[in-house]
Amino acid sequence: MDDEFYMHKALQLARQAWDAGEVPVGALVVLDDVIVGRGYNAPISRHDPSAHAEMMALRDASQQLGNYRLPGVTLYVTLEPCAMCAGAIMHARVARVVFGAADLKTGAAGSVLNLFAEPRLNHHASVTRGVLAAECGAMLSDFFTERRLMAKQA
């Protein structure tokens, strides 16, 4: 399995978010080529500002593995993590983050700031950017285009 394989799986989760009326972001956690955590955006339906895809996938993986620390895992997410998610990723000791689309407004893995490269922090996940970026970005663009059209028709 490679990064594109897992990013396709994350895109399937993002589609679930879209179908639920949430911004379509999906994430999964992989350990030794096994998916151990899945999540998609759910802050609206859960009334929870922390229910980002990454947070949901980390919670799922922690429950599956019985530990809040997740050393050796890779987190795949369709959109660049924000500062909140980057903090959780670091606290969980995630080894590697792979994301699709850059987030030029709130991205904390290089677009706006790079918390993973901050030398004063005690954990540094490696980051791979831009895996299936076009597909991940298109899903977000299409979602917001559809929302704008629906708003005009209302």
Catalytic residues: 54
- The helix or strand, by DSSP H or E, that contains position 10, with its residue range, turns out to be helix 3-19
Task: Give, in degrees to the nearest 5, the angle at Cα 94 between 129 and 59.
Answer: 110
For the chain, state the CA radius of gyration.
15
Task: Give, in degrees to the nearest 5, the angle at Cα 90 between 52 and 130.
Answer: 65
Three-class SS state of 124: coil
Three-class SS state of 97: strand
